[in-house]
Structure 1
Amino acid sequence: MRTIVITGATGDIARELIRQLSDDRLILLSRNVSALETLVDHQNLHLYQVDLSDEAALSATCQAISDKFGAVDILVNNAGYGDFKSFLSFSDTEIKQMFAVNVFALMQVTRSFLPNMLAQKSGQIVNIASIASHLPTAKSSIYAASKFAVRGFSDALRQEVVADNIKVLVVNTGPVKTKFHADNPDYLKKVGKNAVTAAFVAQKIVRHLGSSKRELNLPWQFNIARIFASIFPTTTDKITRRFFNLK
């Protein structure tokens, strides 16, 4: 039985992961564990309520998990959020808060569980980023910057831990049909068939747990766009300004 930690456990992708990982011991971190108490179908859930932007509380929670369960086999850094508006519309507090959750908390959680992974010479870290880390668009400046940071951190960390048999997988999703877009319901209508379901994303992640895959870019249309952008960046900018600035 694998021991798997999932942050942001009330998110739609996390819930699908929980459903698809029914044979594993799952340790779930969320600001609101009451929303997870209805997951009675899973026989081996352990819930921890914590605000990921509270460094002291997060550190204490991770330590408590390590003390109780020892080394975890897989860490899924799923927690994150986005706010989409023009750069000058953001306050300093809003910018810092998005980085606190999307980047600094992810690093802190990884830092907490990595030593035991190194000691056992095995493990996998799955960081949920965004296709915005490859294809940023207008009104996504802060969100895209935070996801660039996640991808850069992941790529560097992978090189540090590969000799210790620890794998690092980055998952870059395009639009997903989740409550992530609850404040902008028209967005999913605009992107149409390019949006995928949380179940689809979770299935792809589960399929690559334990593998040496370094990056998942979903759906395939956005992976093609990512490759195109790396070859023709100026043309891509023109296309994204015209077609993808839908937020």
Structure 2
Amino acid sequence: MKNLLITGATGDIACEIAKQVQGYRLILLSRDVSSLKDLSEHLYQVDLSDEVALTETCQHISKQFGAIDVLINNAGYGYFKPFLADDNAAVRQMFDVNVLALMQVTRAFLPDMMAEKSGQIINIASIASYMATAKTTAYAATKFAVRGFSNALRQEVADAKIKVLVVNTGPVLTKFHAANPDYLAKVGRHAVTAAFVAKKIVSHLETNRQELNLPWQLNLARIFSMNFPSLADKITRRFFNLK
């Protein structure tokens, strides 16, 4: 049976993927696995910002199950805060989880993938990696980093036939935005469900797709912003800075 591993497994998107996927041995990593017992018997509780513990956990998984066939780096978080109100400790913690832990997990399982000359790495980023908005400076920076890392890694592992998919979502109806009900109310018509995102991801397991940008309306906005950056900045400041 093929192995599919998800980090940040208590997240809404991760849980939906676990419910929808079939034909894989599900290996779930999270800071707290108590709510995941109905989804898989292969649960690993670890703090992704603890480098030593994370390395030991990944090594244990490799010894027990062998190569990971699909790695979904879902763990991550964010908050809305003006840049001058933020502080280095909080920003560093976000980079530790959103970027460095993602790279560490990938580094742990990549050698076995390369030896097998197969596998897929799916990194959950954000439309914010293309269209950053006010009060998301740290979060957007981490997601830019995830997308840049993914694009570079894809070139490095191409000869080993390893696929790298980046998933960029706009607002999703998850716990992330549930803590910001006013913002969610303003962007509700652009928000998608975790089940919708999970279905799109599951449908692209082990395919050659390089990027998913969801929903289609924000994908169009992304394309527009890439071609008309100055105008896009003006529109974004007026219509999208709703935090």
State the TM-score, normalized to the length of structure 2.
0.98
The 4+ residue runs of structure 1 with deviation greater than 2 A are: none
1:161 is displaced (CA, Å) by: 0.3
Aligned to 1:26: 26
Which runs of no fewer than 5 residues in structure 1 stay unpaired?
Answer: none
Is the 2:29–2:44 Cα contact (8 Å) retained in structure 1? yes
SS of residue matched to 2:133: coil
Aligned length: 243
Aligned to 1:216: 212
Is the 2:68–2:112 Cα contact (8 Å) retained in structure 1? yes
Alignment partner for residue 101 of structure 1, among 90, 97, 104? 97
For residues 175-206 of structure 1, give each alpha carbon's deviation from its aligned partner in whole angstroms, at most 9, with x where no partner exists: 00000113211111100211000000000000
Aligned to 1:159: 155
SS of residue matched to 1:3: strand
Is the 1:124–1:166 Cα contact (8 Å) retained in structure 2? yes
Structure 2 counterpart of 1:70, one-letter code: G
Aligned to 1:69: 65
CA distance in 2, matches of 1:246, 1:70: 46
Aligned to 2:132: 136
Aligned to 2:55: 59
CA distance in 2, matches of 1:236, 1:174: 16
CA distance in 1, matches of 2:22, 2:182: 34
Aligned to 1:124: 120
Residues 1:79 and 2:75 are matched in the alignment: yes
Q: Which has the larger displacement, 21-30 or 237-246?
A: 21-30
For residues 122-158 of structure 1, give each alpha carbon's deviation from its aligned partner in whole angstroms, at most 9, with x where no partner exists: 0000000000000000001100000000000000000
Q: Which has the larger displacement, 128-137 or 82-91?
A: 82-91
CA distance in 1, matches of 2:163, 2:9: 22
1:45 is displaced (CA, Å) by: 3.2
Residues 1:46 and 2:42 are matched in the alignment: yes
1:224 is displaced (CA, Å) by: 0.3
SS of residue matched to 1:139: coil
Is the 1:52–1:101 Cα contact (8 Å) retained in structure 2? yes
SS of residue matched to 1:126: strand
SS of residue matched to 1:103: helix
CA distance in 2, matches of 1:187, 1:64: 41
Q: Which has the larger displacement, 54-63 or 185-194?
A: 185-194
Residues 1:147 and 2:143 are matched in the alignment: yes
CA distance in 1, matches of 2:185, 2:197: 19
Structure 1 vs Structure 2 CA RMSD = 0.8
SS of residue matched to 1:170: strand
Which runs of no fewer than 5 residues in structure 2 stay unpaired?
Answer: none
Q: In percent, how many aligned pairs have the same letter?
A: 68
CA distance in 2, matches of 1:51, 1:150: 19
SS of residue matched to 2:52: helix
Aligned to 1:13: 13
Is the 2:178–2:184 Cα contact (8 Å) retained in structure 1? no
Is the 1:25–1:45 Cα contact (8 Å) retained in structure 2? no
CA distance in 2, matches of 1:74, 1:60: 20
Structure 1 counterpart of 2:8, one-letter code: G
Aligned to 1:2: 2
Residues 1:174 and 2:170 are matched in the alignment: yes
Is the 2:46–2:57 Cα contact (8 Å) retained in structure 1? yes
Q: Which has the larger displacement, 182-191 or 131-140?
A: 182-191
SS of residue matched to 1:13: helix
